[in-house]
Amino acid sequence: MTDDMLKFLKDKLNGFEPDTAIVLGSGLGSFTSLIKDPIIIPYADIPHAPTPSVSGHQGRFCAGIIGRHKVICLQGRTHLYEGLNPHMIAMSTQQLKDLGVKRFIATNAAGSLRADMPAGSLMLISDHINFSARNPLLGPQKGAHFPDMSAAYDADLRQKMLKIAKRENIKLHEGIYLMVLGPNYETPAEVRMFRNFGADAVGMSTVPEVITAVYCEMKVLGISVISNLGAGLNKDNLNHEDVLKTVTDAGSKLSLLLQRFLEEE
Ligand code: HPA
């Protein structure tokens, strides 16, 4: 199954070998307008590939040059809460490695667990907590088991991104991302518990991809767009449309950071 997908992607990319993959989370799809003459591959055309069923997620690869890099953007992702087997996420991420990708940049929308990090903020992920009770590496693996996760989010790439943000005058928080399975938002009690765990933001994605990317020895950078304060930290109820709107507004700041990063690093 993997070989089919890989061959299909290689044929479509026609000799283009991406070095950087960027997963564009909810509402961040327009980043790809920076690519001139992109190669576009809808997930639906790829043999056996899962396609996103959530609004805000387009579901296609968009490859081309940005700055100094050959990038492949994933415009939209599938989530475990859509019923996806975590193994599928492992396979898709492994494929990026097989296409030549060495750096894996994940973006996502997340709820803040800190009153001082309101909706519209950006958070550089320094580490994560896998609270999803799922793991993409379960089952027989080709490589070694028990990958080391003690430096999952590359310190050097993080420092470079922080420097760019400072120079561009864009506030970039740093914090720990906790993944829940979803699809419901948290209860206020869960938000308090996650805060006590030491997490700064909560979301429903990214961790399976990052675990696999680390396993595949890619360098990882992760940034959350804070779309809302977690349940109970705000008097408003949470809904997906508000989340998408905030993410799209804050997404322009993130696009600029990513663009500068690709131009310089
Ligand atoms: N919780 C979980 N996932 C999310 C949230 C949230 O508050 N906001 C955006 N994705």
Give the residue among 203, 211, 206 at the shortest CA–CA distance from 227. 203
pLDDT of residue 238: 67
Residue pair 138/86 in contact (Cβ under 8 Å)? The answer is yes
pLDDT of residue 260: 95
Q: Name 64's Cβ contacts closer than 8 Å, sequence gap at least 6.
A: 16, 35, 36, 37, 38, 39, 70, 71
Buried b (16+ CB within 10 A) or exposed e, 147-174: beeeebbbeebbebbeebbeeeeeebbe
First-to-last C-alpha distance (Å) of the chain: 35
Q: Which residues pair with 41 in a beta bridge?
A: 61
Q: Name 169's Cβ contacts closer than 8 Å, sequence gap at least 6.
A: none
pLDDT, one tens digit per residue, over 99-135 is 999 999 999 999 999 999 999 999 999 999 999 999 9
Residue pair 247/54 in contact (Cβ under 8 Å)? The answer is no
pLDDT of residue 72: 96
Q: Would you say the CB of residue 216 lies under 6 angstroms from ligand 1?
A: no
pLDDT of residue 27: 65
Q: Would you say the CB of residue 112 lies under 6 angstroms from ligand 1?
A: no
| Residue 192 dihedral angles phi and psi, to the nearest 5° | -65, -40
3-state helix, strand, coil in the chain (%, to 5): 35, 25, 40
Domain count along the chain:
1
pLDDT of residue 70: 96
48 is catalytic: no
Query: Does the N-terminal peptide bond of residue 183 adopt cis geometry, omega within 30 degrees of 0?
Result: yes
240 is catalytic: yes
205 is catalytic: yes
pLDDT of residue 124: 98
Q: Would you say the CB of residue 56 lies under 6 angstroms from ligand 1?
A: no
pLDDT of residue 18: 97
Residue 118 belongs to what domain range? 2-264
DSSP 8-state class, residue 36: S
Q: Which ranges of the chain have pLDDT less than 70? A: 1-2, 27, 29, 52-57, 142-144, 236, 238
Alpha carbon distance 78, 57 (integer Å): 8
pLDDT of residue 19: 97
Report the CATH number that the domain containing residue 124 is assigned in CATH: 3.40.50.1580
Q: How far is the CA of 220 from the centre of ligand 1 (A)?
A: 21
pLDDT of residue 83: 83
